[in-house]
A and B are shown apart, each in its own frame.
Chain A
Amino acid sequence: MATPYCVMNPLTTVRIPRLLTRPGELMVRAGESVEPGQIVAQSVEPADFRIVEVARELEVPVKKANAMLKVERGQAIVEGDILAARGGLSGQVCRAPISGTVVGVGRGRLLLEADPEVVRLAALVPGYVVEARGDEGVVIETIGGLIEALWGNGKEAYGILRMVVRDAQHPIRATHINASSQGTILVGGATVDDESIVQAAGVQVRGMIIGSLPASLMARAQEAPFPIVAIEGIGTAPMNQTAFSLLRSLDGRDAAVSGNIGVRWREKRPYIVVPMPTQAGRSIDANGRLAVGDRVRVLRGDHRAQSGTVAHLLQGLVQLETGARMPGAAVTLTEGETIQVPYVNIERLL
């Protein structure tokens, strides 16, 4: 059986789908090169609309309301325009509550539709469009580092990675953030606190990468104007050593951060992409089976969020502290200890 995986790779071929939330128009073609801020697709959000109860507002029977209309279907209107009037200039009037177009008339009512809003989707990463998906969006390919995270706050940005702590045990603190942090993506080892998020917003950082986000800070993190991604999810666990070492080696490079975790039933993993000026990267085998020597991360229990290497695939069953017995592997953690973990609680690091 294929073992679940998480990508933490310094040089691989990265394919990033950039898809609209509703059908729209592509602004680039397959084969074209794109820059992070370039718009690759756009869609029109459904416009606001209003039903104006003309008959009720003018206090006339529905049958008489049509005769009092001052607008017709298809006509553009501006907020405050007179839509219908009764009894000349001194009488009652019915005004447009929004600017837009009259799209429906009937039964003593008007249907007004506001001007639609265009939503634009940027490439986020530099690379080439390798797939144009009709009216849905594009897939962009780039070569570089890719690190997947467990949780993100839904926001995206491109900036310069800046490691602000010495090791994976250290959280981001307000003292790490100053005017020189503007435009950077701060990287910490463990957690973050409320004050640091507020201060980071104040100096306009582009993003924040941490080990875990404390549950008490989830609302604050959702409000932050920049992406926050937590490699290990929610809680206080420090970042696994594999991810931390990789991010430290990429300090100072440009990176794209996506904190998008999708919605229920359509979950996604947040990611960090660090483009590299090279032509080839290692491909990822999503269907590989766990083997001795594989790098892995432990997902549950006391050793959660620790990375290591598979020492053996156990013949018998692993006895868990809970009393359950399950097939599993012996994993030598980066810290040196060898532990037994059930397969279901292991993720390959590719």
Chain B
Amino acid sequence: MTEAPSIESILVADCGTVSTKLMLIDRVADSYRFAAQTEARTTGGAPWNDLSVGVVQAVQELESITGRRLYAAGRIITPRQDLDGVDAFVITLNAVLPLRVVLAGLVEEMSLESGRRAVAGTYATIEATLSRQGNLRSPQETWARTIRDTAPDVVLLVGGVDGGARRPVIELAEAIALAASMLEKDHRPSVLYAGNAALRSQIAKLLGDITRVVIVDNVHPSAETEHLGPAQNALEQFYTEDRLRVAPGVENLSAWSRLPFVPVANAFSRVVDFLWHREGNMDRGVLGVDVGAATTTMAANFSGRSYINVYNHGTASGIIDWVQAHSLDDLLRWIPDRLDVDSLLAMLHNTELLPSTVPQSPLEASVALAVAREMLRSTLDVARSTWDTTGATFGGQEVMPRLDPIVISGGGIVHVPRPGHALLATLDGVQPVGISTLLLDVNRAAPAIGAIAGIKPLIAASALEAGALVSLGTVISPVGQAKPGDTVLRLRIGYDGGTTLDVEAHYGELEIWPLPVGQRATLEIRPHRRFDIGMGQGQGGKVEVLGGLVGLVVDARGRPLELPRDGDQRRRVLKRWTLDVGG
């Protein structure tokens, strides 16, 4: 490691909505490794109202583990002084209220849809959508009332392809101006304009004296094109300025670190980007899923282009809102035991009221896994619409693009009782196709590594290579249709020692063979002529795969995965799959 010889140690604080994690990374010989990690409750809310309290508690725990002084005179010791302190202190943060956005636009399938996708790129919620839909009698009055009553942080105004519609966009802008002028100056929403470029000066003139206006490229410049980057960057900037920098206790944290705060999702995305560049496969993407207590994040990279989607529901907080927008049946279908609706609702409410608790009974654990699956599916629905996956398509079918590896992070999924549960929830939630390696972020260190990557990429790479991500195993997911029990593919597993194992996978089953962490095997795969593993219909070949905590998995349950409609049969199948991955 030649870069930055003066950096011997880095302390990373990851302030999540429920817990604050502290990670100490030290240089050991030529590489950087996680030396110790502690966790404390996040203290942004009452009675503390100061994020730095939780950070200090976690630092004190770290001091007692390492015997090294890190905190003195009311601050983190940085730069390092002999054996005390660290060379850099990095903070990632998402323990704050998301940005509240009102979306205003013209056409549902065009500008409004693009606007929604832009908002999904950061920690933001859409509080209301303004459009002409519904034949409003007095639309401007309704729009203005909605904005005034919602009092959002930002109004994202989209609409009109470049050089296209003018008058309807101006009418929306007039309503925004009216609403903003009725609010106290300190409470007026900022306006982010990402619509018809021909109207920029008019919009600035109309709204500029009333509130802060930021103008970026049109999210939908022509009927065929979408351009989300500038709007997403501006929203991220609003989030950083209006939320992160004013979070309670952030002034203390800022005083201890000269480095900028990084939103957790962005830090996580850097790890996914790193992995894509390391793998360098143009024919597949890399996916990262971070299932947290309050948000679910998907970071992806296809053909070198990165995508971030933040879904403002997690495994604890926001789940009741999610149920109201979806259905309890969506959760019940994943639970392998009989459970009535009232009991399920009670569990979800209590989890939301006590988000830092963990499932203690098998039933609570199966409810938590059901929630994790649905958070992944819902986030994926939004994320997929933003991905350009031309290079990673799979047999022209309506299935997932090829993804390898898939990184699994976040307390909502990493803390499940057994590694197999994390693998099963990911397979059910993401439904990957072809051959994928699943990597578990066991210490939930990925955001920290991503944050370091922003300042010292080689240190981040070194920490990542030193085993921060642990393989769950390699999963082969053939795509095709057959009858339950039919042979889907045949495998010859050639282990390192020279032994071989010939096995078959059957339709409808989840098949697992031993291949421990750190071991590799050569597979000769021969899929049935009606099945595709990413090499073409019925085409097989030799591949080298990585072992993991679960092993070598063939998910022959079909794509899209369909659960039996009969309740008893479904519960039996779910129990069998759960046993297959370790009970």
The interface residues of chain A lying within 8 Å CB-to-CB of B437 are none
How many interface residues does A have (CB within 8 Å)?
47
The interface residues of chain B lying within 8 Å CB-to-CB of A304 are 350
**Number of inter-chain CB pairs below 8 Å:** 132
Residue among B41, B183, B294, B341 with the highest chain A CB neighbour number at 10 A: B41
Q: Is the CB of B57 within 8 A of A323?
A: no
Closest residue on chain A to residue B97 by CB atoms: A265
Q: Is the CB of A51 within 8 A of B417?
A: no
Query: B47 in the interface, Cβ–Cβ < 8 Å?
Result: yes
Known: A49-B182, A51-B144. A233 touches B353 (CB 8 A): yes
Interface string of B69-100 (1 = CB under 8 A from A): 00000000000000000000000000011100
CA distance A236 to B356 in the complex (A): 21
CA distance A50 to B144 in the complex (A): 10
CA distance A221 to B346 in the complex (A): 14
Q: Is the CB of A321 within 8 A of B362?
A: yes
Q: Is the CB of A1 within 8 A of B417?
A: no
The interface residues of chain B lying within 8 Å CB-to-CB of A324 are 358-359, 365, 415-418
Contact partner of A301 (CB less than 8 A), chosen from B48, B57, B361, is B361
Interface size class of B (residues with CB under 8 A): 35 or more
Query: B318 in the interface, Cβ–Cβ < 8 Å?
Result: yes
Distance in Å: Cβ of B154 to nearest Cβ of chain A: 16
Closest residue on chain A to residue B141 by CB atoms: A51
Q: Is the CB of B47 within 8 A of A322?
A: no
Q: Is the CB of B357 within 8 A of A286?
A: no
Q: Is the CB of A286 within 8 A of B342?
A: no
Q: Is the CB of A267 within 8 A of B45?
A: yes
Q: Is the CB of B343 within 8 A of A235?
A: yes
Q: Is the CB of A2 within 8 A of B57?
A: yes
Known: A1-B39, A234-B345. A300 touches B145 (CB 8 A): no
Tell me which residues from 514 to 533 in chain B have a Cβ below 8 Å from any Cβ of chain A.
Answer: none
Known: A1-B39, A46-B148, A322-B364. A150 touches B358 (CB 8 A): no
Query: A53 in the interface, Cβ–Cβ < 8 Å?
Result: yes
Closest residue on chain A to residue B47 by CB atoms: A286
The interface residues of chain A lying within 8 Å CB-to-CB of B184 are 23
The interface residues of chain A lying within 8 Å CB-to-CB of B357 are 299-300, 344-345
Q: Is the CB of B342 within 8 A of A1?
A: no
Between A and B, 15 residue pairs with Cβ closer than 8 Å are: A1-B41, A2-B41, A111-B178, A151-B349, A151-B353, A236-B346, A264-B321, A265-B97, A266-B45, A267-B353, A321-B360, A321-B362, A322-B360, A324-B416, A344-B358
Question: B-contacting residues of A (Cβ < 8 Å)?
Answer: 1-2, 4, 22-23, 46, 49-51, 53, 104, 111, 113, 150-151, 212, 214-216, 218, 233-236, 261, 264-268, 286-287, 299-302, 304, 320-324, 326, 341-342, 344-345
Known: A233-B354, A324-B418. 7 other contacts (CB 8 A): A214-B342, A234-B349, A261-B353, A300-B361, A323-B418, A324-B415, A342-B360
Which 6 A-B pairs give the minimum distances between C-beta atoms?
A301-B360, A235-B346, A215-B345, A234-B349, A323-B417, A324-B417
Question: A-contacting residues of B (Cβ < 8 Å)?
Answer: 38-41, 45-48, 53, 57-58, 61, 96-98, 138, 140-141, 144-145, 148-149, 178, 182-184, 187, 294, 317-318, 321, 341-343, 345-347, 349-350, 353-354, 356-362, 364-365, 415-418, 583
